[in-house]
Chains A and B, each alone.
Chain A
């Protein structure tokens, strides 16, 4: 317990970094997920192919490998970002592929009939997505999206491997000084659980608030 209280500030900084990384990445991954899901149902075959390729590539590579590649390989060809930025880009890109699939499943719950009705009153493809398809498609998959966000939260700990001092890395650092792994990692674990619980609660609230009258 002392090991935790003596290093509250380091652990607190780690926790804040984890939260920041999670929030930034979730926003980025949602935007990407919506764009990629939209590409996959676009009327233009080339766009559909790009969407499919994106999902296939990113779902079939380990996140850790992507992080290492981005952080250590890209600088050798002259491209480099701050560590936090790199981690956020890679995790958002990776989780975006999973969100795209969840969102596409949601879109598929909206009947083609409504999409045709939207086009028949003269809405463009973009307008029918925005006003008819996505509002209903997203509502249908709030729960799976919440689950992916929790997975995303857990995956931010992989940023430790490329040097971002988030909660896991901070706990690791404290443990190196104090050699009290049980106390330190249990504390960190409880913090992750609390964050996951919050995401779960928000998901449940959104689902009740936005339910479509049936």
Chain B
């Protein structure tokens, strides 16, 4: 579903992604972990080309990423993204946040888009908030609305960039539960997160990044129990201490 080959990315002189190879099969859930600044966000952003690629190739469902314009916009619609800071549209109700893409990009009717949005809101447990504005919702509710907005495009892949890092602790689980159920339903997901519980429950594979490289990759239980590289051991000892 996602195929990354020899991907490099530079910000000016800064070499942020170094020769990344990553293949994610349909229905697979890959969790990406690694220290801050290791390039996890940049990798996510290269997958839907919010960042231009320096060198190498990214294919989504067999299609190489177009450079710019309408073709790129169309491809982005197939790659959903959930951000750390939710990024809901502040002037639109939750319902209108969700129907914007389907009506403007997929060109389905308003009535159909609303119906579909309500179904999604029920699924993420905030149907009663449909007519609220983002600022009237808690962080956890906003993030669930953002997940519904991404799902409304019927994406082939969903990218999550630290979806629970901006949440108060008591709201983390309501978002993770939604993600776990998506994983169980067979959604293809790439998730940057430090929630090891989620990785154990839902991930097929954990990918460990450090300094712009994929250093290690394996099944969650193997990775957490017996990391093969020194750097992964070091990283895990730091985050598991707490």
Contact = CB atoms under 8 A, between A and B. Distances in A.
Contacts of A132: 89, 100
Contacts of B81: 117, 120
B50 A116 contact: yes
A121 B87 contact: no
Interface of A: 43, 110-111, 113-114, 116-124, 127, 131-132, 135-136, 139, 212-214
Contacts of A123: 73, 100-101, 104-105
A213 B134 CA distance: 8
B163 interface: no
Contacts of A212: 90-91, 133, 135
A131 B87 contact: no
A121 B76 contact: yes
Nearest to A125: B73
A114 B78 CA distance: 18
Contacts of A122: 73-78, 101, 105, 153
A123 B50 CA distance: 12
A135 B88 CA distance: 14
Given A118-B89, A131-B100, 8 more contacts: A111-B85, A113-B86, A114-B89, A117-B83, A121-B77, A121-B150, A123-B101, A124-B69
B87 A114 contact: yes
Contacts of A136: 89-91
What size tier do the contact residues of chain B reach?
A: 20 to 34
A123 B81 CA distance: 13
A100 B204 CA distance: 51
Interface of B: 48, 50, 68-70, 73-81, 83, 85-91, 100-101, 104-105, 133, 135-136, 146, 149-150, 153
13 contacts: A113-B86, A114-B87, A114-B90, A117-B81, A120-B80, A121-B100, A122-B78, A123-B73, A123-B101, A124-B69, A131-B100, A212-B133, A213-B133
A113 B146 CA distance: 12
Given A120-B48, A123-B105, A111 B76 contact: no
B140 to A, nearest CB: 18
Given A119-B73, A122-B77, A113 B135 contact: no
A123 B90 CA distance: 17
Contacts of A131: 89, 100, 104
A23 to B, nearest CB: 27
Contacts of A113: 83, 85-87
Contacts of A43: 68
Nearest to B49: A119
A125 B69 CA distance: 8
Nearest to A211: B91
